[in-house]
Structures are given as structure tokens and as C-alpha cells.
Structure 1
């Protein structure tokens, strides 16, 4: 029995020794396989230096052109169109006849009215003399006078209708639309044609709140169009909306002189370049250096090979650059790419 207990004790000791050895080996393997933290890893980034530049700030907006004046030509009386001496695209002058209505019936009515006026005038003179001799009543004289005045009004109305039958162009321009054809009967107020004046054109663009307070009515601007890439047009700010739209943008209208060989057409897309002087030097950085929206702008500045986050206040955006009004100084090094991998204090490696 004693020998049996000794044997069991020896076996248990061997098992414990093997278990301890296995645990010891596993611990050594875990330590060996544990990843080694490399505190020397640096995130590669591209950077630029904050620049101080003269405060002649420019920004570009895109808009489309509309005619300086557009007028619909309407019939001012009813009648048959005897003449319609124009076609689409014709150039017309102010006062040029665009349509002639049939006035034969109106002329007949005017002749009748003129005859009646002459007769009533004689009757009125006769009865007025009779009234003085007490040979006629005042009521009869008043009746004839009323008829005489009614015929005068009728004659004036007919003359206006005859004059209105000759429809003239209200301005210099080009026929942009033709609504009727010769021989048609038109009612008063019917549209006959549309005339547009392209000697000047208007470009409409939307400016932000920051931008709109930098311009004034009458300021000079430069305009370019892709259709004439080598031509620059001169324009002036003719209108600034006093009220923002739902997106807090302000409508600005620019008037452009549109004469010469390279005339622009309504509907053409153009680039409008605004320029103003801040009166002092300003700080600028590339737009891509911002890590948040313009309203909550921030950048990463490189200091002692580490990324330091800075909140900044921005100004106008111009040609890929953005004005920095607060938060940076000239000569600061800011990250322009690689920000997605950065946080406060991250070690960086500046790409050459």
C-alpha cells in the first residue's frame, strides 16, 4: 500500500512539472510574438508656408448672360395683318415698321364720323343763334352739343386705331421670336414678335455674404468666356441685391458692353473676376489645407516635426487660395495633404 502511494505521488509530481514547463514555454512564445511598438513611425505629409501677399484680392464667379433689353411687340388694335416685313434674326431699328394692319373699315368709319361732325357743327351753330332769338330751347341746343362731342370722340378713337395699325419696333435689336404670319387676324394685345437688344448684356452671379460687402455698384470687373478664350470683356456692377436668398447668397448683376467682332449671345456662360484692395497685406494658404468647413476651419501646423491643430478664421476664397484673418502667422508651415492620418501631436515626415 505504501509503495502505491509513493507511485501516485511521483506521477503527480511529473504531471505538475510538465504543466509548469508548458505554461512557461507559452509565456515565452507570447512575449516573443507580441508586436513591438515603434514609437519612431512618422506620417508622411505635404506642406506649404503661410504667405503674406499684397491685399489686392480677386475672386471669380460663373454666371450666364441675358439681354440688356427684351421687348415683346404686341398688337394695339385688332385687324388683319396686311404686312409683316421681318424674319427671325433680322436686325431692326427703333421706329421701324414691323407690322401693318388692315384699316379700310376704320377709314370708312372715320369718313362717316367726319361728315357727321361737320353736319352737327352747323346744326349747333344754327340752334345757338336761334336760342339767342328765343326761337329754340336750351334742351335742343344741349342735345345737339352732346351729339357733336360724341362724334368728335368717336373720330379721335378711330384715328388712334388707324395709327395703332402701324406697329413699330420699340428699340434697336434683333428679332428673336416671330409669333404670327402675314395674313392672320390678330386681336388687340396679341404677341407679334420679340426684339432683343444685345449691344449690352447682363451677367448674373451669386456672391456670399463675405464677398458682397467687398464690392460696390459701379465697380469695374473683367469677364471671360470659353467661346472666346483670348478675349477679355469690360463690365461694371449695375445691381447688388439688397436681400439674400434662401441660401444666404446675394444676386449681383454686371453690365457688359457687347459690340465688335466677338459679340456674346444670351445664355452664354461667363467667368466674372472681381478685384478689390484690402488696403494692407493679407495671409493666404491653399484651400486644401483646411480640415473642416470654412465656418469651422482648422489646419495642422508642423512644429518640431509634430502636427499641431490650429483653429483659424477665414476670409475670401480666390483662385484656390483662401484668406486667413486669424490663427496663423506668416512663415508658419501648414499641412496641405495627409491630414486624414493626423491627430494632435502626431509625428510627421515632410515629403520633399
Structure 2
């Protein structure tokens, strides 16, 4: 009997203990999470705008020949510094010079022929004047009955022949002679241009970065044979989102840091802001020009920064959480946390600009934000 009572008492105590533990656990689970809140406010945020990109030459020129020809001389090699006007490549011009001499001889022949035509025109004019005078005398004698009809007809025929000869010498013959001169001059000019094109010169100060020919190589028109880059000015190419565009302007100065030279500081200025977004999305191309002191090379990664101020809705930096790759905050109202996906702008260590998703005057959680869920009860203070 005593054993049965002891066993029943033990079971009763175990059930009582289990009920107490379950009750405590349930009470603990139902306790709302305590969060501290802050009010989103319209204010000015002072921060640093940072952009990242890669340095590229300010200007790159790929040169090709305008004519076919064999390379007879190379003025510079890859890596050489060149000045504008320096001869980079010389092509063979012997055949062109021979053709030029022939064209010049053709011009002399055409000019001589034109002079002959001019002399003939002068002679034809003298003959015409003489025939005209003879005609007038013969006509007077004919009208006086001193000469016969046949003599008058013969004089008239001679006048007509003289007129035709004069007209031909001063018209078509001279035009043809001038056309021959023009053709010869055009041939000479064309050959002179080809001879000039046989010398490939640098159009700018820079460095030879590529050379695809050697002495003896036959080049074809339009095929790139040498490249020149201007590295006296380098450009940092980067992109910015559309909300940052109002903060940027042409010639705006920025501080530049080069990853390969962490201890050095450089200055740059915005030289270009693309008016059209790039194809990858709502970002716009920006170029920042940097004067090269000789230590920088194209291809280095760089970062540009400047102090700036923005105005708008600002929340404490601790209120913004990452959730599923999105920025979000939790709006606290009537002790209920409501998740809001937001689009953020600039930020500093204290505050974050909210471009979309939060209105001024709304309360946001600034503690325990990573443990909150949508529509979760909280204890706000």
C-alpha cells in the first residue's frame, strides 16, 4: 500500500514539473522582442562619394597605311616615346617616283601642245583679219563692176575658211589642250599624295604600344600596322547610378587613389558624364581625367572620392538590414514591425539616405533588426 502511494506521488510531481516547465517556455516564447526606434527625418547628410574604375589612355590611335607598299624603314619600336610628326614607318617609293617623273614629262608635253595650239590660234586670227580685209576690198570692186562674180565668190570662200580655222583654233583645240594639262596635273598631284602617304607619321605625342610589321613586310591599305597611346592624361572610367548624377558636374575635382600606390595621392577632374545610360542597366558612364606624373600606366585600378552633402529622408545606419539581397527596414507602428524594402542612397557611419520606401515621420527599428520579421509583435521603446 505504501509503495503504491509513493509511486502515485512521484507521477504527480513529474506531471506538475512538466506543466510548470511548459508554462514557463510558453510564457517566454510569447514575450515580444524589445526594439529601440528612431524617427525618419528630412535632413542633410554629409558623406563621401566614392567611385571605382580602371585607368585608360586619354587617346589611342591605330594607324594603317593608305597605300600598298613594302616597309623600308621603322622609325621606332614598341615602348618608344614619340612626338607628333615623327616618322614611324617608311614605305618604298621608287616606283611612285618613277611614275611621278613620267607624269611631270606628260605635263610638259601637254603644256607644249597647248602653246602650239595657242600659236595656231594667233596665226588663224592673223589670217582671218587678212581675209576680212581682202573680202571688203573685193566687195567694193565687185560693186563698182571692177571684178567678176567668180573673183567675189573665191574671196568669200577664203573668208569663210579663215573664220572656221580661227574658231576651231580658239575654241575646241584650246579646250582639248587645257584638258590634257589638267589631266597631267591631276596625275602629278595623285602621285605626290601617294608618295606622302608612303610616310606614316605619328599624329600625337605618345608611346608605341603595338607594331605588327617589320622591314620588308608588304602592307595593305586600311590594315592597322602600329598603335600610339597618349598617356600624359589618363582617364578613370566608371559608372554611377542615376540618383548620383545631380551630385556630379564637368570639371569637378576629385581625390584619386591608385591601388598600386596606396601611399600616393592624386587629383583628377570629371571630364565626361554620359547623357545615356549604358546597356547593362540604369547606370551612366563617367570619365575622370588625371594628369600623369610619369608613374602611372593604363590598366591600373583606381578609386575617386569627394566630400558631398545630400538632403532627403535619412534613417540611422543601424536600421537598414540586408534580406535576400535587398535593403530593408522595419517600420514600427502600434508595436507591430512591418518590413519595407527600400532603395538607399549615400550613407555615412551614422545615417543612410532613403530614396524610396520610407516617409519622413515614420518610426524605424534600430536594434534587433536582423531578428525581426514582417508583422511581428515588438515591444518598442
User: For the superposition of Structure 1 and Structure 2, which TM-score range results when normalised by the shorter chain?
Assistant: 0.7 to 0.9
Evaluate the alpha carbon distance shift between residue 261 and residue 95 of structure 1 in structure 2; reply closer, same or farther with a 3 A threshold. Answer: closer
Task: List aligned pairs for 1:219-298, cutoff 5 A.
Answer: 219-263=252-296, 265-278=297-310, 283-286=314-317, 289-290=320-321, 292=323, 297-298=328-329
Structure 1 distance, partners of 2:249, 2:87, is: 41
Structure 1 residue 37 and structure 2 residue 66: aligned? no
Shift of 1:168: 0.6
Q: Distance in 2 between matches of 1:47 and 1:200?
A: 52
Aligned to 1:114: 104
Residue range with higher mean Cα deviation, 54-63 or 176-185: 54-63
For the residue of structure 1 that corresponds to 2:118, the secondary structure is helix
Q: CA RMSD in A?
A: 4.0
Q: Distance in 1 between matches of 2:100 and 2:273?
A: 52
1:322 aligns with 2:352: yes
Match of 2:193 in 1: 160
- Larger Rg over CA atoms: 2
Name 1:8's counterpart in structure 2. none
Structure 1's consecutive aligned runs of 4 or more residues displaced over 6 angstroms after TM superposition are 22-28, 41-53, 293-296, 300-303, 328-333
**Could you tell me how far apart the structure 2 residues matched to 1:208 and 1:287 are?**
23
Indicate the SS of the match to 2:284.
strand
1:124-170: per-residue Cα shift (whole Å, max 9, x none)? 02112312413764444333322221111000111111111111101
Report the structure, 1 or 2, having the larger helix content.
2
Give the deviation of 1:293 after TM superposition: 7.5
What secondary structure is seen at the aligned counterpart in 1 of 2:23? Answer: coil
Question: For residues 53-76 of structure 1, what are the alpha-carbon distances to aligned partners after superposition, in whole Å with 9 as ceiling and x for unaligned?
Answer: 863332222211221000011112
SS of 2:79 mapped into structure 1: coil
CA distance in 2: counterparts of 1:245 and 1:256, whole angstroms: 20
Q: Tell me the equivalent position of 2:87.
A: 97
- On the 8 A contact 2:40/2:314 being kept in 1, the answer is yes
Is contact 1:238-1:254 (8 Å) kept? Answer: yes
Question: How many aligned residue pairs are there?
Answer: 325
8 Å contact from structure 1 (residues 291, 299) kept in 2: no
Pick from 64, 69, 85 the counterpart of residue 74 of structure 1: 64
| Rounded Cα–Cα distance in structure 2 between residues aligned with 1:31 and 1:343 | 35
Structure 1 length normalisation: TM-score?
Answer: 0.76
What are structure 2's unaligned runs of at least 5 residues? 125-164
Shift of the alpha carbon at 1:307?
7.8
The 5 A counterparts of 1:91-240 are 91-132=81-122, 133=124, 134=165, 137=169, 138-240=171-273
Q: Residues 221 and 45 of structure 1: is their aligned pair in 2 closer, same or farther, counting only changes over 3 Å?
A: farther
Q: CA deviation at 1:343?
A: 6.2
Deviations 1:311-350 (A, max 9, x none): 58654234666224755779987126642579633459x9
Q: Measure the CA separation in 1 of the matches of 2:34 and 2:55.
A: 43
